[in-house]
Structure formats: C-alpha cells, structure tokens
Amino acid sequence: MITDVHTHYWTPEHQGPPWTDGLSRVARRHAAADIDLVTIESYRRQVAPAERTIVFGLQATAAGMWVPNDEVAAFVEAVGGQTVGFMSVDPTRRDAAEEVERCHADLGLVGIKLGPIYQGISPLHPMYLRVFSTAERLGLPVLIHQGAIFTDSGRLSEANPLLIDDVALAFPQLRIVIAHLGHPWIYETAVVMRRHPHVYADTSALPNRPTVLANALVAAKEYGVLGKVLFGSDSPMVGATSAVEALHRVVAHTQRAGITPITDDELHELLHRPSFDLLGIESADVSATAAGPPPVTADLITAPTTGGNP
C-alpha cells in the first residue's frame, strides 16, 4: 500500500501575493492538473496510485496563503476513503496554540503542517515553540517545510534543517517530517534524522530536481536513515503517478552510475512504508471507501471558519 504524506488543498481564493507572484517559478512538468486549484475530483486523480494520503492547507500570512482549517476538514470528509487531514497554523497569530487544540478536538485533524520560512519566522522563535509544545502534548505529528521556497517571504538562514536539531532536542517525543528532504540542505537533513528517532523526511517536490533527489536518497542510505524517508508527492505541484515514476528513474540511475546504489527492494520499501504507523496516525475509516464517497455539495467545502485571510 502506497501512502502519500504530502498533498495540498487550496483554491485561488486562498492565495495572494507574494505567493501568487512567485508561482511562475514553479516547475509544472510533473503536475497532474492546475497547481493553484484543487477540487475533489482533481485530488482523487492526482493522488493515484496512493491508497492512503495526508492532505493539508497552509496558513502563512507573510507568504499570502491562508487556507481555513474548517475547509480542510470538510474536504477530507468529501474525499473519503483513507485520506486524513492535517491542520495548519501561523505561529505569529496569538491564537495559534488554541487553534491546534480546536482543530484536533472539533475537526478531527490529526497533524500539523508548518512552514517557518513561508510564515516569516524562525522555528526556534518562542511563538513557534509553543506550537511544538502543544503538538507534542497532544501526540500530533508535524510536517514542516524547512528548506528553500519559491516566494520571497522569510529568511533562508532560518530555513536550514539543522535548526530542527534544536527542536527535536527540546521536544524529543514530537514526530517531525522534514518536507522535500530539506532541499537544498539534503545532507543536513540526513544527519538530523540520524540523531533523532522521531525525525523523518519526505520525497515530495523533488521529481523536479532529479539530481538532488538521487543525491538525497544516497545520502540517506549512507547515513543509515533511508528507512526514515517517506513517500510524498507534493500534489498538485507534482502528481503521485509522476512522483513514483521519477523515483524509479532516479533509483535506476543510482544503480547504473552511483557509488552507493539504491536497490529495487529499498525503493519498494520506501514506496510502501507504513507511514501512518510511524507517525502515530490511526488509519482512516475504510468503510467510507466501500460505501463510496459522500455526496459532494457546494456548501461542503465552504464551512464557516474562524477567520479569513488576515
């Protein structure tokens, strides 16, 4: 069973500058559809062949992206099957920790998506640390974008995955996934994963950078943490089918030319990693799959929210 730990939900109404100003920099050759619009139908197409998925929005005032968590929860319900939702909170808002509590208790969201550089704040800032503390206390995994981005928000010096070393030391029970293998700091990501038992990374977005992806997988193997690399697509930026195909091509290249090749068995294990189990996520209700998805209505993904794009 393939699990995709990195998929997005958003619509054009959620996006503004500088996010929209930077979209032209995003490579689209691996996208399965429009990269600025996700619908229930397009999502189901984009995530195939994954059978389990994690989907989330992003709340980042500094980057011009704001997806209400209520809409993410409604989207998860509409998609059905074995899709689970992560909330996103912007730590610069005073109610960030309270929003984590609300989304977990009231909306059933089972993890948190964060992006310090998108949110214009260091992951070591006290406002960020209170979110990590709440996540650890509630047992919620965190998927964090700690690497380069296409917008001009934030500071690259605060996006280095080495900073996650301090986070993991402070919150040793917190499960953390470093998105995109922390590119371009792939070696830093590998050594942080090696130091901390609950730090993982995902392969999302990197089909657009096959050389980086190849080097990242080889680095993970050489540092003994290839088993902590999770499959992620970055849908809609990269469709899951395209992501799987890219991994096969990259692995074949390491076998032809690499000093440390990735084996076919290691690729199979990566693609079929029990990511939900590793992150402490209970499987979604598979009865929804057997019965078919719930009816899609116009108000299903426009539920009342606790606040719009500030």
CATH at 54:
3.20.20.140
Tell me if 251 is assigned to some domain. Answer: yes
DSSP of 119-142: HTS-TTSHHHHHHHHHHHHHT--E
Tell me if 304 is assigned to some domain. Answer: no
Q: What pLDDT, on the 0 to 100 scale, is given for residue 27?
A: 64
DSSP of 188-251: HHHHHHHH-TTEEEE-TTGGGSHHHHHHHHHHHHHTT-GGGEE----BTTS-HHHHHHHHHHHH
| Structural domain boundaries, residue 130 | 3-284
Average the pLDDT over 289-310 and give the result: 37
Which run of H or E residues covers position 71? helix 69-79
- Residue 291 confidence (pLDDT) above 70: no
Tell me if 137 is assigned to some domain. Answer: yes
Q: What pLDDT, on the 0 to 100 scale, is given for residue 309?
A: 39
In angstroms, the CA 132 to CA 163 distance is: 13
- pLDDT tens digit sequence for 43-96: 999 999 999 999 999 999 999 999 999 999 999 999 999 999 999 999 999 999
- Residue 113 confidence (pLDDT) above 60: yes
Residues 6 or more apart whose CB falls under 8 angstroms from that of 193 comprise 178, 199, 200, 201, 220, 223, 225, 228
The count of domains in the chain is 1
Tell me if 301 is assigned to some domain. Answer: no
Classified as helix, coil or strand, 11 is coil
The pair of three-digit structure tokens given for residue 234, joined into one six-digit string: 């970055």
Tell me if 296 is assigned to some domain. Answer: no
Question: How would you class 130 by CB atoms within 10 Å of its CB: exposed for 0-12, middle for 13-18, buried for 19 or more?
Answer: middle
Q: What does pTM read for this prediction?
A: 0.90
Which of the pair, 56 or 152, is modelled with greater confidence? Answer: 56
Tell me if 310 is assigned to some domain. Answer: no
Tell me if 297 is assigned to some domain. Answer: no
Tell me if 67 is assigned to some domain. Answer: yes
Q: How confident is the model at residue 32 (pLDDT cuts 50, 70, 90)?
A: low
